[in-house]
Amino acid sequence: MTHTNQIVIDKVRKSRIDSTDFDNLTFGKTFSDHMLECTWKNGSWGDVEIKPYGPIMVEPSCKVFHYGQAIFEGMKAFKDDQDDVFLFRPADNWIRFNASAKRLAMPEVPEEIFMDGLKKLVELDKDWVRKGDGQSLYLRPFMIASENGVAAAPSTEYKFMVVMSPARAYYRGEVRVVIATSYSRAADGGVGYAKAAGNYAASFYPNNLALEEGFQQIIWTDAASHEYLEEAGTMNIFVRIGDKLLTSPHNDRILNGVTRRSVIQLAKDMGIEVEERRVSINEINEAARAGELKEMFGSGTAAVIVPIKGYKHLEFVHELPTMEHSYAERFKKELNDIQYNRTEDPHQWRVKI
C-alpha cells in the first residue's frame, strides 16, 4: 500500500482483465479492477482511497435509502493508436457534479479530489481502455448520503466514489421515440438540471410504457403544457429543420449536457446555423408533414450521437428520411476524432492521462 499526495492506493493482487470478454460487453455490467472512495465527515473531506473494486458496507438506515440524496456523472476515457489515454472535458463534469451537489444539499467535491483522483484511477486501470471506434472506459463518479438514521434532514456524512466500466455502443439498432403528453420528467424550480438519481428512477415507469409500444426512449416535454421539446431520458435532443439545427435552451428542467454543448460548438465551427430556443411539438409535426424535418438525434456521454429513426406524438407517427452526410454522422465523426486523438483539438477538450 502506498500513500502519495493524500491518495492512498491499494492495488489488486490479480487483475480480472484477462477473463473479460471485451467483444461482448453489456453496458454498465462489467467493472475495472479498482474504484475510488473518499468520505466527507465532520465538515471536511478525508483522503482519497483507490482500492480493489468490490462491495461497500452500509447499514439499512443509511440515509441514501430513505431520502434519496444521490448524484452522479457520466464520463469516458479513450485510447489512441499510440496507447495514450485521454479524458473528454472532465472539468465540465466536475462543475456540473458540484451544481448537482449544491441543489441536493450535499457538500461540493474539491477539484483536486475529483480531478487528481480520477486521473490516478484511470492511469491505474488504463489497460481497461481499449483502442478502436466505439471502445471506451465509462467513468461513473457518484456521491451518496452515508449517515445512518431516518430523521428527515440532510446527511452529515457522504461518500464520493468512482467506478469504471469498459463500454461499447450504448444503443444498438434503430431508435424510435414517443413524445410525452402526460408524464413529466421535471418542473420549474425542481432538480431537472441536476444529475440526481431520482430523476432517472421517476422516468423508468413511463419509459417501460414506451418500450411496450415498441419505442426505445421518451422525448420529454414541458410539464406545464406538454407543448415544447425538452430532452430524452439519457440524451439531449437536436432537431434539424431544413438546414437549421434546433435544440432546447438549458434551464432548471434540462440537463446541461457536455456532449450537447460540444455539438453546438461543432455546429458553429462547421458554419451550421444553430438555435437554442423553445421548440414546439407543433413546429416539429408541421415540419414533418411538409417534408422539412430532416433529422432528429440525441446526444449524451454514453450514447454520443444517436440518430432517431422515427417518433410518435399522440396519433401522429412519422419516419425520418435517410440522409447522406447527415449532421448526426458529421458530429459523431468529429467528436470521435477529437476523443480518440485523430485530429486537432481547437477547444482543448482532451485531457491526457
Per residue in 213-228, pLDDT tens?
A: 999 999 999 999 999 9
Grid coordinates belonging to 265: 460548438
The CATH T-level fold of domain 176-339 is D-amino Acid Aminotransferase; Chain A, domain 2 (3.20.10)
CA dist list (Å): 251 to 59, 167, 269, 284, 316:
37, 30, 24, 21, 28
Instruction: Write down the domain spans for the chain.
Output: 2-168, 176-339
pTM above 0.85, yes or no: yes
Span 331-349, pLDDT tens digits:
999 999 999 999 999 999 9
pLDDT grade, residue 3 (50/70/90)?
very low
Per-residue model confidence as pLDDT tens digits over 151-180: 999 999 999 999 999 998 766 678 999 999
Write out the three cell numbers for 96.
Answer: 456540473
Please tell me the predicted confidence (pLDDT) of residue 124.
97
Distance separating alpha carbons of residues 332 and 76, to the nearest angstrom:
15
pLDDT for the residue numbered 5: 53
Question: Is pLDDT at 2 greater than 50 in this prediction?
Answer: no
What are the pLDDT digits (tens) for 115-138?
999 999 999 999 999 999 889 999
Determine the Cα–Cα distance for residues 346 and 353; give it in Å rounded to an integer.
Answer: 19
Long-range contacts of 110-117 (CB under 8 A, 24+ apart): 110/45, 113/38, 113/45, 113/48, 113/160, 114/141, 114/160, 115/90, 115/91, 116/5, 116/7, 116/48, 117/7, 117/36, 117/38, 117/48, 117/50, 117/162
Beta carbons within 8 Å of 258's beta carbon, 6+ residues apart: 88, 89, 92, 93, 96, 301
Asked whether the predicted pLDDT for residue 145 surpasses 50, the reply is yes
Q: If you average pLDDT over residues 223-237, what whole number do you get?
A: 91
Task: Please give the class, per CATH, of domain 2-168.
Answer: alpha beta
Q: How confident is the model at residue 318 (pLDDT cuts 50, 70, 90)?
A: very high
Confidence category of residue 251, pLDDT binned at 50, 70, 90: confident
Three cell numbers written together for 301: 456521454
The pLDDT assigned to 232 comes to 86
* The pLDDT of residue 250 is above 90: no
* pLDDT value of residue 55: 97
Helix (H) or strand (E) holding 90: helix 90-103
